[in-house]
Structure 1
Amino acid sequence: MARRFASSWPLTVKIPTLVAMLMVAVSVLVSQQVLSRLQATQEKHLQEMGNAYLDGLSSSLIPALLRHDVWEAFDTIDRAKGMYRGLAPAGTIVLDAQAMVLAASDPRAVPTGLSLPANVAARFPPGGGFLAEDDGSRAYLSRDLVFQDRTLGSVYASFDTSHLAAERREVLLTLIASNAFITLILAILGYLVVKRMVRPIRLLSDHLQQSASSDVVPVPAEFQAARGETGRLFRSYGRLVDAVRERGELAQRLADEQRLASLGRLASGMAHEINNPLGGLFNSLDTLKRHGDKPLVRKATIALLERGLGGIRDVVKTALVSYRTGGECRPLQPADLADLRLLMRPETERRAITLNWTSELADSVAVDATKIRQTFLNLLLNACAASPNGSVVLFSARQAGTALVASIDDSGPGLPAEAARFLTSPDEPRSPYEPEAGLGLWLVRRLVAEMSGEMEVETSALGGTRIVLRIPLREQETLSDVA
């Protein structure tokens, strides 16, 4: 949990935090070494002062031990305590050769003539030497009193070392305060330095995030002119932006060319569709010239001319509506789909393709009619281009709730995987421009995206590809405002 939380921190926080943690670790080690060295120095100094204290006592206590003079021993202890106030002697005990107490600075706790109490003897190191308590409040020192190679007794001394422990605590608090201050200053400096260092990376990251939701934007020229790795990074990003823009312009040009190519194919079919009734029209004119004086012939011929010219007018009208740019954004009518079917007739007749047409639209549908017609026409031309001669193409359109649902099935070998990903994945940047990928796919995806629609690519029951479109319905006010 902590690792996942820390991984979300920015670099401007991670690096100063790491520096602060390292500083704390170093401070702990340094403080421990300083305190250990200070304690060792204090104990060494205390031991030297204690030995000096015992040296002074020894020279004065030996005569009293030789004479077993208790009062002289008491007097020596009292005088020594006054002379070594800086050493802070807490207690002194003198034992004779039989290990009996001769004198003590506190005779009530350690009576004269008795052996040294076990609890008192346990505080001193065995065999003489120096010993300090763990809490630092007391230190103990003992020594045998020897005269002419004869042990006359021993002396035990304890010292108050609480002031030394207090000094170590003050040093510890000073170290903590100074290290905390230095760590805080270094963490702030580290934050400012890292923030300045990652500023170019953050700027580049902001541009990349902006590019993901809109057009790519180059960084300002002053950043690209910077020296070092930052400048090279920005210049590389600038070249990437130029390449992306060039590719977008190329994709737009290719889409326009594909649209014109599909229009050319459609124009060829229109020419065929118009040329068919022209022969009959000329024959009708010839009939009028020869037999125009006959009312029945004239009436029948004029009706034939009207139907032929009306058919040509319908073909031209539907073609113009399909490729009209701009203008009013009107809802889709059932007649629009009938026009599409009429536009596809030359292509299907030329390829002997059976176009099974199913439309359940009985009234207008609140979608952009122009964009829907262009989308359906491109997909139908693709389906016919992918299907072999004499095969079947299916078209179906219906309103399902708040969406227009349409499907187009072909009998071809199937849409390439790259083209399918391009149609169904909004984040797919590559557009399949290969001829076998079909015409107008880029235009189809763009039109569907503009209508907030979705596409699915499936396997058709005919053995080819089935493309399903779902276009959400819009309010009538929205359609009228788009114009």
Structure 2
Amino acid sequence: MIRALRNLPLSLRLPLLGGAMMILVGAVASQQVLSELGRVQDARLQELARLHVEGLSIALGPLVLRRDVWEVYDTLTRAAELAEGQRMVLTAVADEDGRVLAATDPRRVPTGSPIAGMADTAVPLDQLSVGARARTVDVVAPLDYQGRRVGRIVSQLDVTDLQAERRRALWLLIAGNALAIAFLTGLGYAVMRRMLRPVSVLARQMAGAGDAPQPIPAAEMPHGEGDLARLARTYNGMVDSVAAKADTDRRLAERERFVALGRLSSSLAHEINNPLGGLLNATDTIRNFPDRPDIVRGAAALLERGLQHLRDVARVTLEQNRLDRQTSVLSQTDFEDIRLLIEPELKRMAQDLDWHVPDGVVEGLMLPAAPVRQILLNLLLNASAAAGQGGRVGLYASADEAGLSFAVFDNGPGLPDAARVRLLGNVTVTPAGGGGVGLRLVRDLVKGLGGSVTHARKDGMTRICVILPQAGGRSDA
């Protein structure tokens, strides 16, 4: 029951709780009203019985002393015919010995019979009560005349009208309370639903947002300066900020990707252009010396080596940009491809490369190849740009039970603040903010793989370390 109540909307739960409280209050109030009505009815009944008994005592006193049965009967009959006597169903008068002198119904209470059988079930005047079930109540009172007790009077009173009055009051209270509770609960539901409508709109916009939160439409914005209006405006401001950050990150990633692609394309063009010059010289040699087999063989060998080099460069470039590599597993060949891709840039900058990637370092690690290649390529290109002409760039890789670790270092002037923010910070950066090429892309890729990035500067060397946890466990096979 409690769990079902918790699952109800707040706009319905609060009015139901309020209705339950009103039911409790109404029950207590109704009980008080019925108790007060019963007290008034008992007082009215006691007063009526007292007047009846006192009137009979005055009229019957001398007659009981004389034991005049007929006069006593006649007096009782005339008293029963009066308006106040209509409630008296039966009245019996007994002498001081407890013997019945007369009764309004002699067949039920014969003359001379003991009054004890009827008097034992009767109550005194001050204890007389309407009750809730019996249609009649019996009351007993002493018959006094001139200060002397001469007998007893026992009367049976009809209280069905008083009980009917009490039942009518009960049903009126129930009906009134039910109507009031139903009206107030419905009114409370309407008011609460109207008050909580902005919260419902906010919950709907957040639940149906998908990958990005949706703003609250202007037509559904609450008016005024209340808490709900401020909450809606704050939410819309947050949505705008999230959208702006996502757009900035997207444009930044595209910019850095294009910059990295441009540098890589320039290096590849330089790498391809150099062999092309040699290949053209070889073809000229073959054309000019067709009758010199030794020269032709040498030129053909040079031509073959140049074409093989161009084939390798084209293969690695295609492999780097294949869409289906997103699902392939990192292997030793991926490191060799990265080295082949960056060598043209290193040669152009006359830089030294320290390459320490042990054979089988990634064997058994279930890491995706595409993001790791992208991380390595961006870090090495950034290190080459930082090292400058004639600088030094290096890569150290190792693996253990935790996963793959590699460090890219250079002897450049160090990582600028803007580049450090791109690599390590969580704040939103703009494409115009400057910084290292592809470093924010590196941060996002490492974070997506569940890894970590650290930066250190020591002995004139800048070192960026990346730790990538293994995805599927390392095997010994």
TM-score, normalized by the shorter chain, greater than 0.5: yes
Q: Write out per-residue CA displacement over residues 452-477 of structure 1, whole angstroms, 9 at most, x where no aligned residue.
A: xxx5669xxxx97345568xxxxxxx
1:156 match: secondary structure: strand
Quickly say closer, same or farther: Cα 1:431–1:305, change in 2 above 3 A: farther
2:163 to 154, 162, 165: 165
In 2: Cα distance, 1:272 partner to 1:37 partner: 107
- Counterpart residue type for residue 16 of structure 2: T
Q: Write out per-residue CA displacement over residues 240-290 of structure 1, whole angstroms, 9 at most, x where no aligned residue.
A: 011101110122123224434544664576478558858976996998899
Residue 204 of structure 2 corresponds to residue 189 of structure 1: no
Q: Structure 2 matches for 1:262-273, cutoff 5 A?
A: 262-263=260-261, 266=264, 270=268
Quickly say closer, same or farther: Cα 1:383–1:357, change in 2 above 3 A: farther
Cα shift at 1:28: 0.9
Match of 2:461 in 1: none
- Counterpart residue type for residue 131 of structure 1: L
Cα shift at 1:223: 3.5
In 1: Cα distance, 2:105 partner to 2:232 partner: 85
Match of 2:27 in 1: 28
Preserved CA contact (<8 Å) 2:46 2:128 = no
Match of 1:155 in 2: 153
Preserved CA contact (<8 Å) 2:326 2:370 = no
Match of 1:217 in 2: 214
Quickly say closer, same or farther: Cα 1:248–1:390, change in 2 above 3 A: closer
Q: Which runs of 5+ in 2 are unaligned?
A: 344-351, 384-392, 409-425, 430-434, 453-464, 473-477
Cα shift at 1:101: 2.4
Q: Structure 2 matches for 1:101-250, cutoff 5 A?
A: 101-118=100-117, 120-125=119-124, 128-132=125-129, 134-137=131-134, 138-211=136-209, 213-224=210-221, 226-229=223-226, 230-250=228-248
Cα shift at 1:321: 6.5
Match of 2:47 in 1: 48
Q: Write out per-residue CA displacement over residues 275-325 of structure 1, whole angstroms, 9 at most, x where no aligned residue.
A: 88589769969988998874421331243134325524642564367458x
Quickly say closer, same or farther: Cα 1:163–1:86, change in 2 above 3 A: farther
Quickly say closer, same or farther: Cα 1:191–1:162, change in 2 above 3 A: same
1:391 match: secondary structure: strand
- Counterpart residue type for residue 441 of structure 2: G
In 1: Cα distance, 2:85 partner to 2:106 partner: 23
In 1: Cα distance, 2:313 partner to 2:108 partner: 129
Preserved CA contact (<8 Å) 1:136 1:161 = no
In 2: Cα distance, 1:74 partner to 1:357 partner: 129
Cα shift at 1:10: 0.8
In 2: Cα distance, 1:375 partner to 1:232 partner: 43
Residue 352 of structure 2 corresponds to residue 352 of structure 1: no
Quickly say closer, same or farther: Cα 1:284–1:333, change in 2 above 3 A: farther
In 2: Cα distance, 1:318 partner to 1:172 partner: 93
Q: Write out per-residue CA displacement over residues 429-474 of structure 1, whole angstroms, 9 at most, x where no aligned residue.
A: x699898x9663476489x9xxxxxx5669xxxx97345568xxxx
Aligned-residue sequence identity (percent) comes to: 32
Match of 2:441 in 1: 440
- Counterpart residue type for residue 202 of structure 2: L
- Counterpart residue type for residue 440 of structure 1: L
- Counterpart residue type for residue 354 of structure 1: V
Residue 412 of structure 2 corresponds to residue 410 of structure 1: no
In 1: Cα distance, 2:141 partner to 2:327 partner: 115
User: TM-score scaled by structure 2?
Assistant: 0.71
Preserved CA contact (<8 Å) 1:318 1:339 = no
Cα shift at 1:139: 3.2
- Counterpart residue type for residue 396 of structure 2: S
In 1: Cα distance, 2:440 partner to 2:245 partner: 18
Quickly say closer, same or farther: Cα 1:20–1:168, change in 2 above 3 A: same
Quickly say closer, same or farther: Cα 1:35–1:331, change in 2 above 3 A: closer
Preserved CA contact (<8 Å) 2:88 2:157 = yes
Q: Which runs of 5+ in 1 are unaligned?
A: 361-371, 395-406, 414-429, 449-454, 471-483
2:371 to 368, 371, 375: 375
Match of 1:368 in 2: none
Q: Write out per-residue CA displacement over residues 134-190 of structure 1, whole angstroms, 9 at most, x where no aligned residue.
A: 335333433333332222223222201022112211221222122212222222222
Q: Write out per-residue CA displacement over residues 46-65 of structure 1, whole angstroms, 9 at most, x where no aligned residue.
A: 22222222233222212211
2:93 match: secondary structure: strand
In 2: Cα distance, 1:343 partner to 1:189 partner: 72
- Name the Cα RMSD after superposition: 4.5
Preserved CA contact (<8 Å) 1:53 1:84 = no
User: TM-score scaled by structure 1?
Assistant: 0.70
In 2: Cα distance, 1:439 partner to 1:225 partner: 39
1:188 match: secondary structure: helix
In 2: Cα distance, 1:279 partner to 1:409 partner: 41
Cα shift at 1:93: 1.9
Q: How many residues align?
A: 412
1:350 match: secondary structure: strand
Cα shift at 1:356: 3.8
Cα shift at 1:119: 5.7
